[in-house]
Amino acid sequence: MASSFEVSAGKAIGYTSGGAVTQETSKATGVTLNQAAGQITTDDAALAAGAEVTFTVTNDKVAATDVVIACIASGGTSGAYTLGCGAVAAGSFDLTLGNVSAGSLGEAVVINYAVIKASAS
C-alpha cells in the first residue's frame, strides 16, 4: 500500500533543496521560484497601515492538491505583519502580506515557504 507521502524523485517531504528570489518592482510584483521550498524577499516599498497586498508565486513544483505553508522569517518589524497563502493551483500560489501596525512600513520582508505534496484521493 502506497504511503500518503511519497518520497521519491521530485516528490519530497522533509529536507529538500530550495532557492531564493527578490521582488523587482513592488510588493504586488509576482515572482518565479521553481523549488519545493524557498525564500522570497519582498520589495521595500511602503505598505500603508491596515493595508494588504497579494502577489503570485509561479512555481512548477506546485500541484492544485498541494499544501503550501509560509511564514515571515525576518526583515520586518516584529508583529507588524500578517501572512496568508491562498489560490493554490497547478503551477502557482498567492501570498497576501498585511500591515497590522499603526503606521506605514517600508521594509523588505523575508518570507520562507515549503510545498507539501498532497493528494485529493
| pLDDT tens sequence across 6-43 | 444 455 555 667 899 999 999 999 999 999 999 999 99
The pLDDT, as a whole number, for residue 66 is: 95
Spans of all domains in the chain: 35-116
More confident residue, 119 or 104: 104
Q: In what order do the strands lie in the sheet with 67-74?
A: 18-22, 37-41, 110-116, 67-74
The pLDDT, as a whole number, for residue 11 is: 55
The pLDDT, as a whole number, for residue 46 is: 96
Residue 112 in this model has a pLDDT that exceeds 50: yes
Q: What is the pTM of this model?
A: 0.85
Q: Which residues of 69-94 are buried (b: 16+ CB within 10 A; e: fewer)?
A: ebebeeebeeebbebebeebeeebbb
The pLDDT, as a whole number, for residue 92 is: 98
Helix, strand, coil: what percent of the chain each, to 5?
0, 45, 55
Please name the CATH architecture into which domain 35-116 falls.
Sandwich (2.60)
Q: What percent of the chain has pLDDT over 70?
A: 86
Tens digits of per-residue pLDDT, 42-90? 999 999 999 999 999 999 999 999 999 999 999 989 999 999 999 999 9
Question: In sequence order, what are the residues at sequence separation of 6 or more whose Cβ sits closer than 8 angstroms to the Cβ of residue 10?
Answer: none
